Structure 1
Amino acid sequence: MAEPRSLQVRYRRRRPSVPAARAKARAVAFDWRLPPHVADSLEWVVTELVTNAVIHGRATRGTYVLVAYHLDDDLLRVEVRDAATGTPNLILSDTLASDLALSGCGLKIVAALSESWGVTQRVIGKTVWAELAMSSKEDEPHDR
């Protein structure tokens, strides 16, 4: 059993923070020697959650977005906390046109790449979290 690891990084709530958070997620994956499939998923999940916090959240000027990473055994939890009001919702659609839209698919990506995800309401703002498994389905033995 590996020792648990944690890290928190704070970003200003503005668009240039998205690529900075994405690069930091990749650096964390490298520093913590995460498997390549987890590193890729982590990069996408952080990008989508920080983008949502920066673009869609309604908060006062000068607020921050906090990205927290927690690695414990075979589970990596990433949390994005902001002071904005509102709750993100996964939009399910039956039409191809809306599935191909450039906006509105971030949480679909998060849901597809993570074992689980959710929203925790805070007194001020919220935390949107996702959990990524260190082992992939391909790594598990198959029954014959």
Structure 2
Amino acid sequence: MPRHHAEGDPWVVLQLLQAPGSARVARSSLRSELTAAGLAHDLVADAQLIMGELVANAVEHGRADREGMIEVAWLLTTDRLLVRVRDSGSGARLAPGSLDIGHAGPEDRGRGLALVDRLSDAWSADTHRAGTQVTATLMRGDR
């Protein structure tokens, strides 16, 4: 699996096919690295769920690059974990806090980002000419 660290860039970056199976690959890779780093089980589980939801959105609603890929990445610092997913699509208007999981039924859409909103300490969505990037932040405090 293509994984790289650009020189001077501390992010772990994976280029994955824009395909449903990529969510599983992203979650598994993230779990392996975070578990090896000794992170708490609850933080790892939350990060995996967030990563899976963001990749699923990029697969379903985003657009792959010319090679058919999307990018997933994470950055572990002393106090936080950042999880990022990029695709080449234009994205919808997304805003933290604008989604409510409590009022959505099983057939309703938008539940994934509501989960991201609930599980992360913060998240943001940036849309620009090159595509859409969604980043979630999880603090590494007592979990």
Does TM, scored on the shorter chain, surpass 0.5? yes
Q: What letter corresponds to residue 122 of structure 1 in structure 2? A: H
Call closer, same or farther: CA 1:88–1:17 in 2, change over 3 Å. farther
Match 1:92 to one of 99, 103, 107: 99
Is 2:16 aligned against 1:11?
Answer: yes
CA distance in 1, matches of 2:117, 2:127: 19
Give the root-mean-square deviation of aligned CA atoms.
2.5
Q: Give SS of 1:28's match.
A: helix
CA distance in 1, matches of 2:29, 2:88: 21
Larger Rg: 1
Percent identity, aligned pairs only, is: 29
Is 2:56 aligned against 1:51?
Answer: yes
Does structure 2 conserve the Cα–Cα contact (< 8 Å) formed by 1:70 and 1:77? yes
Q: What letter corresponds to residue 32 of structure 2 in structure 1? A: A
CA distance in 1, matches of 2:140, 2:10: 14
Match 1:114 to one of 116, 120, 124: 120
Unaligned 5+ runs, structure 1: 140-144
Does structure 1 conserve the Cα–Cα contact (< 8 Å) formed by 2:101 and 2:115? no
Deviation at 1:59, TM superposition (A): 4.5
Tell which deviates more after alignment, 55-64 or 65-74.
55-64
Number of equivalenced pairs: 133
Deviation at 1:88, TM superposition (A): 5.3
Q: Give SS of 1:78's match.
A: strand
Is 2:78 aligned against 1:73?
Answer: yes
Q: TM-score, with normalisation over the residues of structure 1?
A: 0.79
Q: What letter corresponds to residue 16 of structure 2 in structure 1? A: Y
Call closer, same or farther: CA 1:64–1:35 in 2, change over 3 Å. same
